[in-house]
Copies of this chain bind each other. A is one copy, B any other.
Amino acid sequence: MEHAAGPVPAAGFGPCAAIPAEHMDFIRQILDRIGDKWSMLIIALLEDGPMRYTDLQRNVPGISQRMLSLTLRQLTQDGLVTRTAYAEVPPRVEYSLTHLSQGLLDIVKQLIGWASDHHEEIRQNRTRAEPTH
């Protein structure tokens, strides 16, 4: 991100130097899509390589068939996941990442890393925040 260096550039201080208002729109779009309950998890899981429907279902604990299907369809439509169906006797379908989602994968992994590092701290903060009332 170019932020050039600069403490609040331009005139006075604008209402929002960090995010141009024009960007707000699709930032929300993307967040709504991958910020949902399962997308990032699935993308992270696909890092290892292609996975089948049931593989995903086993490895994303708690996901329902409905949500798995829906999420995969969304991701496929967005070009973040590739669906490959093999015409075999027991049907086989594999899902894998695309070039587009490779960059996203990197970020998702960072987010997971951050969560791993700080979830405990956050939990502590949360419980200790009670007494205020």
Check A29–B119 contact: CB distance below 8 A. Answer: yes
Q: How far is the CA of A29 from the CA of B118 in the complex (A)?
A: 11
Q: How many residues of A contact B (CB 8 A)?
A: 60
Check A23–B112 contact: CB distance below 8 A. Answer: yes
Q: State the A residues within 8 Å of B (CB).
A: 1, 8, 13, 15-19, 21, 23-24, 26-33, 35-37, 40-41, 44-49, 55, 58-61, 76-80, 100, 103-104, 107, 109-119, 121-122, 125-126, 129
A-B contact pairs, 12 of them (CB 8 A): A15-B58, A18-B46, A23-B115, A26-B119, A27-B41, A31-B35, A32-B37, A77-B126, A78-B122, A103-B114, A107-B111, A110-B110
